[in-house]
Structure 1
Amino acid sequence: MANLPFILPEILLNLDEFIELRRQIHAHPELGFEEKRTSELVAAKLAEWGYEVHAGVGRTGVVGTLRVGDGCRALGIRADMDALPIQENTGLPYASTCPGKMHACGHDGHTAILLAAAKYLAETRRFNGTLNLIFQPAEEGLGGAPAMLEDGLFERFPCDAVYALHNAPGLPVGCFALKEGAMAASSDSVDIRLAGVGAHGAMPSFGRDPIVAASSIVMALQTLVARNIPATEAGVVSVGSLHAGKTYNVIPEHAELKLTVRALSRDVHATLKQRLHEVVQLQAQSFGVAAEIDYRTISPVLVNTPDETRFMSALIREQTGAQCLIEPPQGMMGSEDFAWMLEKKPGCYVLLGNGTESRGGCMVHNPGYDFNDEALPVGASLWARLTENYLRA
């Protein structure tokens, strides 16, 4: 286990408790909005340590509030709790006991990190203000952050700023990555349904072929980024599914496409959305078929605000040295629904080193992934130090 100067000794003292808790959550993964066991565990721990606990926020979310001193300034820290529909193949003694479900993104680690910080902060209380610990459900594309916001998250639990982290395989334990501005891409899911006219495969002139139209649309969509977005900007349009027909000699009536659209700026996001609708409709018309488009924004561009990012950067440099803080590479197109919270409140999202190669280097959303427990006290110490400095007594 890494013993870095950054790690608070009180957190190291209780580390075994939270490694065991993390592995308990790992062994019992729950998908988005199904986090009943996990949220009950979180609520019980927070109550035990003296937090004011609010369960059922955004269906299965939990918020724990701790007020110290005058409570005038308020800080929010978020951790996600949900797992993924993936069959685990790690062979670990604490591997998932739920077939087809696993913590393949490290949300078990994020939850344990925030709980470890919560216990330390409740015991030491070396801050002056209100601390809101936000345990969010359904981060993996199901809208957990919007659900909490719709349930009055920031009206019920006001925050001057809100922070979150995510583990980063390939980044050494004890290192962090963050930057001001766009930190994660927007993510849109698009369903396109084409309605044509069915016909015999030997007599296609009697029909309107949705497969040919779909094929042309797929190719045209690849020009959206190449011919509409400046070369200095980032965007992705990927078709993940095209379904039509069932047999050899029948032109079907319908074809369906599923795709993802991603961008690293709000302007690019808006341009891609507009041009996608135009291209799909006009391509469909040119083949004599009708197109229905269901376009859903899963998460907007995640934008770290200037003051909060500088505060976090300065804190990390002060505690670890400049060598442990890096700027993430350009063009990271993963998404994160913490972006919805950052549209409402200033804040910062930071990447936490999960390790390299065989020790924590396996990429997330992989059946062989596991959160690296060596990163747990690093993340917990980060949240503890952030609270004590942001809510300085």
Structure 2
Amino acid sequence: MSPIDRIRSYADELTALRRDLHAHPEIGFEEVRTSAIVAEHLEKFGIEVHRGLGKTGVVGVLQGRPGKRRIGLRADMDALPITEETNLPYRSTTPGTMHACGHDGHTTMLVGAARYLAETRDFDGTAVFVFQPAEEGLGGARAMIADGLFERFPVDEIYALHNAPQGPHGVFQTRAGPMMAAADFFDIRITGRGAHAAMPQQGIDPIVIATGLAQAMQSIVSRNSDPLKAAVVSITQVHAGAAYNVIPEGAHLAGTVRTFDAGLRKLVGQRIRELAQGFAAAYGATIEVDLRDVFSVLDNSAEQARAAAEIATELFGTDKVDADTIPRMGSEDFADMVAAVPGAYAWLGATPGPGLHNASFDFDDSLIPLGAAYLARVVERRARV
């Protein structure tokens, strides 16, 4: 029996688990209920469980036949601060929080893979199951690594999988080299001088400065960066004022910078600071820029990306595998794990629907047996190398 068929035999149980996690989402580093449920399932399968890595992370260790190889599998557990707008029977019961990225599904797929491997034990060496907190920009991978993840649970390779709601359904996508972009988060705080809205000459209007700076920042990609190198500057928050007739004292811009190239990343940050300094001088305001390295470039190791594609081809067929997919400008902190250990990240296409981080998103449960089978087969194949 193929791993897909075997896992499909208990897919209803996995789907129930996924929907329970969906109904009870938890923000990064607050995944207390989620990690407890994961640990309980692993213990039920006879897997050695370690809790509390990186605050709320869980690691499971499963011994197969005698062997020296150790293969890591990772899933993310956290939800997003988004109010769900579906009418699903298992919709979020936590106000302002939902699984809008499918981490409930990723966690379930890894639980399914762990169950399969625990029941079959058809692999050499050791499987290490890493359930990571706080992937959504809060540094969960870095927290687990700093907590000794790879010292306490060394692995030769590590793999992860993410759903792709744009589809095509069941198509596995990976590549060697850069897979996802680096991301810097920024906060720009503008301090002017408040005044009556009818007497603007008495103030220094931070809103005028903020809107001008926001427009100027869009010129960084179009006029300062090499057009053959990808970069995205997105302002995602604008905060200022609280009354119709008051020019406020301050304004706040926030957003992200996405790049693949280290030199371009440095250039974009430098230009943001230079523009801010210029606007501050021109208007007589004070502008503070806080630019933070949040995600590294996710760079798949060549051998592991090739192996991932071969395993997916075995399971899904040649027509369902794209082994040289286009890199994406989104970011993922699995990047820090593959920077420490050889590994590969992949996307698995879902039935097309609302995109990631959308209030109407829901994970495609038909992917659970496919993703779980892939993760399990990675251990079976790569532990024998």
The TM-score, its normalising length taken from structure 1, stands at 0.91
Structure 1 residue 121, shift from structure 2 partner:
0.6
Contact 1:6 1:378 in 2 (8 A): no
Q: 1:173 to 1:7 in 2, by over 3 A?
A: farther
**How far does residue 328 in structure 1 lie from its aligned partner after superposition?**
7.0
Is residue 218 from structure 1 mapped to residue 210 from structure 2 by the alignment?
Answer: no
Secondary structure at the residue paired with 1:73? strand
2:70 aligned partner: 74
1:375 aligned residue = 367
* Cα distance in 1 between the residues matched to 2:212 and 2:362: 41
Query: CA–CA distance in 1 between the matches of 2:321 and 2:264?
Result: 29
Q: Shift of residue 323 of structure 1?
A: 1.0
**Identity between Structure 1 and Structure 2 (%):** 50
Q: Per-residue deviation at 1:209?
A: 3.6
Q: Structure 1, residues 51-75: CA drift from partner, whole Å, max 9, x if none?
A: 1111011111100011224442211
| Partner SS for 1:362 | coil
Task: Give per-residue Cα distances to partners, 1:243-289, cap 9 Å, x unaligned.
Answer: 33444555433222112211133332222122222222233223222
- How far the C-alpha of 1:327 sits from its partner, in A, is 5.3
One-letter amino acid of the counterpart of residue 367, structure 1: A
CA shift in 2, pair 1:118/1:248, >3 Å: closer
CA positional deviation for 1:95? 2.2
**Counterpart residue number, 1:391:** 383
**Alignment partners' CA distance in 2, 1:67 and 1:331:** 35
Displacement of 1:324: 0.7
In the alignment, is the contact (CA less than 8 A) between 1:182 and 1:265 conserved in 2? Answer: no
SS of 1:93's equivalent in the other structure is: coil
Distance in 1, Cα, partners of 2:344 & 2:11 = 26
How far apart are 1:329 and its partner, in Å? 5.9
User: More deviation in 240-249 or 289-298?
Assistant: 240-249
- The count of aligned residue pairs is 385
Alignment of 1:135-146 (within 5 A): 135-146=131-142
Tell me, yes or no, if the aligned pair for 1:75 and 1:391 is still in contact at 8 Å.
Answer: yes
Counterpart CA distance in 2 for 1:256 and 1:17 is 47
Match of 1:164 among 156, 160, 181: 160
- The 10-residue stretch of structure 1 (105-114 or 19-28) with the greater mean CA deviation from structure 2: 19-28
* Match 2:282 to one of 275, 286, 295: 286
1:179-227 CA-to-partner distances (Å, cap 9, x unmatched) read 1122112222111112233445565555444333323311221111112
Distance 2:197 2:24 in 1: 51
Q: Determine which of 337, 340, 345 is the counterpart of 1:344.
A: 340
Query: Within 5 Å, which residues of 2 pair with 1:28-43?
Result: 28-43=24-39
Distance 1:23 1:242, change over 3 A: closer
Q: Answer whether contact 1:234 1:331 (CA < 8 A) is retained.
A: no
For 1:9 and 1:329, how far apart are their aligned partners in 2?
27
Distance in 2 (CA, whole Å) between partners of 1:98 and 1:210 is 36
- Answer yes or no: is the 8 Å Cα contact 1:266–1:301 preserved in 2: no
Looking at structure 1, the residues matched to 220 and 306 of structure 2 have their Cα atoms a distance apart, in angstroms, of 35
Does structure 1 residue 362 correspond to structure 2 residue 354?
A: yes
Alignment partner for residue 180 of structure 1, among 176, 192, 199?
176
Q: Take 1:184 and 1:129, find their aligned partners in 2: how far apart are those partners?
A: 30
**Once the 2 structures are TM-superposed, how far is the Cα of residue 167 of structure 1 from its aligned partner?**
0.5
> Once superposed, what is the RMSD of the aligned Cα atoms?
2.2
Show structure 1 runs of 5+ residues with no match.
none
The Cα shift of 1:8 comes to: 3.1
Matches of residues 288-367 of structure 1 in structure 2 within 5 Å?
A: 288-326=284-322, 330=326, 332-356=328-352, 361-367=353-359
Structure 1 residue corresponding to 2:47, chosen from 51, 76, 94: 51
> Which TM-score applies when normalising by structure 2?
0.93
Give per-residue Cα distances to partners, 1:135-183, cap 9 Å, x unaligned.
Answer: 0111122221111112111111111111111011132333201111221
Counterpart Cα distance in 2 of 1:327 and 1:73: 25
Gaps of 5+ in 2: none
One-letter amino acid of the counterpart of residue 390, structure 1: R
Counterpart residue type for residue 72 of structure 1: K
Q: 1:251/1:391 Cα in 2 relative to 1: closer, same or farther (>3 Å)?
A: same
Query: For the Cα contact (< 8 Å) 2:174–2:346, is it kept in 1?
Result: yes
Asked whether the equivalents of residues 113 and 373 of structure 2 are also in contact (C-alpha less than 8 Å), the reply is yes
Q: What's the secondary structure of 1:56's corresponding residue?
A: strand
The aligned counterpart of 1:191 is 187
Aligned-partner residue type, residue 161 of structure 1: E
Judge conservation of contact 1:77–1:133 (CA < 8 Å) in 2.
Answer: yes
C-alpha contact (below 8 Å) 2:65/2:122 kept by paired residues: no
Which amino acid in structure 1 is aligned with residue 322 of structure 2?
A: I
CA distance in 1, matches of 2:150, 2:11: 31
1:155 — aligned with what? 151
Separation in structure 1 between the aligned mates of residue 248 and residue 81 of structure 2, nearest angstrom? 32
Q: Deviations over 1:301-355 (max 9, x none)?
A: 2111111111111222233332111257646222111112122222111001212
SS at match of 2:164: strand
How much has 1:76 moved relative to structure 2? 1.0
- In structure 2, distance between residues paired with 1:328 and 1:286: 48
